[in-house]
Structure 1
Amino acid sequence: MTGGGGGRQRVRTARGRTVASQRWLERQLNDPYVRRARSEGYRSRAAYKLIELDERFGFLKGVGAVIDLGIAPGGWSQVVRRLRPKARIAGIDLLPVDPIDGVAILQLDFMADEAPALLSQALGGAADLVLSDMAANTVGHQQTDHLRTMALVEAAAAFAVEVLEPGGAFVAKVLAGGADNALVAELKRNFTTVKHAKPPASRKESSEWYVVAQGFKGARPPA
């Protein structure tokens, strides 16, 4: 690497490294959120997206049970553990996730038929908050990628309606333009407020936004 004295760091060209990978590495080295995550012990810079969203909307206040969809590598659950250390947390991801103290982690496809029941079982009951940082693997076709990711968001929203306690909240990553009209309408039927936000930690060039639905209206049926 070159650079120093607090200036921008540059990565020397290495054999076998593509231009795209070199640019990614330089961006990581010069990203203040990446440096902050390392110094504060978070597994990824995404932790600050949740922190900033919570600072704006306050959905972590008083929560006692949280489900983290797309938990890998674990930054969001780390935030919940630090801010609400007594909360029960269960997370799920296709990717392996290193253990997090106090968090039940399932390595499983959220879209698998058995996933919702196993998540509820791992949590030990209903949730106050459902978080979703899930995104579909991209195939390079914008419309297809959008549809695949929004299908995950819709599944996460339907799951939230099933497991949330009255007054609970749902926070999910969506893409540029936010949740589509049908999903927003469904969320408004089930939650008191529905907002879109792009936290400062989300890179400007990124297409991601977040939908924050609070004040779940539905009373869950008795078990």
Structure 2
Amino acid sequence: MAKTPDGKNTSGRGQRDLKVKVKSARGRKLSSTRWLQRQLNDPYVKRAKAEGYRGRAAFKIMELDDKYRFLVPGARIVDLGAAPGGWCQVAVPRVNALAERTDKAVGTILGVDLQEMEPIAGCVLYQLDFMEDDADLKVKEWLGGKADVVMSDMAASSSGHKQTDHMRIIALCEAAAYFSFDVLDEGGTFVAKVLAGGAEGELQKLLKRRFTKVVNFKPPASRSDSSEKFVVATGFKSEVEDDA
């Protein structure tokens, strides 16, 4: 019969005992303890660590691209809200940013975030608050031309109030969308994280005027208890008819 180092029997223990349990600590809120325990037991967090990705969000963009195929060799990518860099890491081999495949076109990746990021081979990263005045002009200057994909994982710090957080992330998505209208090449793609909550209807209308197809998708890597989802808009139209 198997025993632990302290001599206790291990027979009869179920799989649930394999989970990491986090003890409460002085000064730590119960919600923080629950979050930490969820992180430690999250299979995507473990997989990200094992495969060298900077966070579980890498698998979200992976699953989005597997379904909609926008990270193609030679694509010019702008990643808004890029920290810690998981989306960029996924994009590097898919767009051939390191030119490892000589038989394929070489892509470029520009990442921007409020937080400083550790360098990623094949990417150009900048620290910038995209919501500050003229930030979009700086990104356009760094880009130096058109983009094929604008993707946004921008999110405001949680206020603890669901509706307020929803409105904040919609505002970020709209800012990213208007930026994409300025820089996307004909047929380009816009991908952004949103939170379900009602106000995203206007964003959908805005995107449907400028793209041939707009869909919402919740990748498997997105937690089932989260209101998070992603909008994927493909077939950018550089010119649209005025509303009658």
Counterpart of 1:99 in 2: which secondary structure?
coil
Q: Distance in 1 between matches of 2:109 and 2:71?
A: 12
**Structure 1 unmatched runs, 5+:** none
Alignment of 1:211-222 (within 5 A): 211-218=231-238
Q: Distance in 2 between matches of 1:13 and 1:155?
A: 40
Deviations 1:160-205 (A, max 9, x none): 0100000100000011157622221111111010000100000011
Q: Paired residue for 1:83?
A: 94
What is the RMSD computed on CA atoms of the aligned residues? 2.2
Question: % of aligned pairs identical?
Answer: 54
Counterpart of 1:38 in 2: which secondary structure?
helix
Alignment of 1:126-205 (within 5 A): 126-177=146-197, 180-205=200-225
Structure 1 stretches of 4+ with a deviation exceeding 3 A read: 3-6, 12-18
Deviations 1:43-101 (A, max 9, x none): 00000000011111112134521000001100001100122222211111111111112
Q: Paired residue for 2:36?
A: 25
Q: Distance in 1 between matches of 2:231 and 2:169?
A: 13
**Structure 2 unmatched runs, 5+:** 1-12, 98-106, 240-244
Q: Distance in 1 between matches of 2:36 and 2:14?
A: 16
1:115 is the counterpart of 2:135:
yes
Moved more, 56-65 or 80-89: 56-65
Q: Which amino acid aligns with 1:90?
A: L
Q: Paired residue for 1:9?
A: 20
Normalising by the residue count of structure 1, what TM-score does the alignment of the two structures yield? 0.90
The correspondence for 1:47, drawn from 35, 48, 58, is 58
Normalising by the residue count of structure 2, what TM-score does the alignment of the two structures yield? 0.82
* Bigger CA radius of gyration: 2
Deviations 1:112-165 (A, max 9, x none): 233222212222321000000011222222222211111111110000010000
Q: Distance in 1 between matches of 2:201 and 2:29?
A: 40
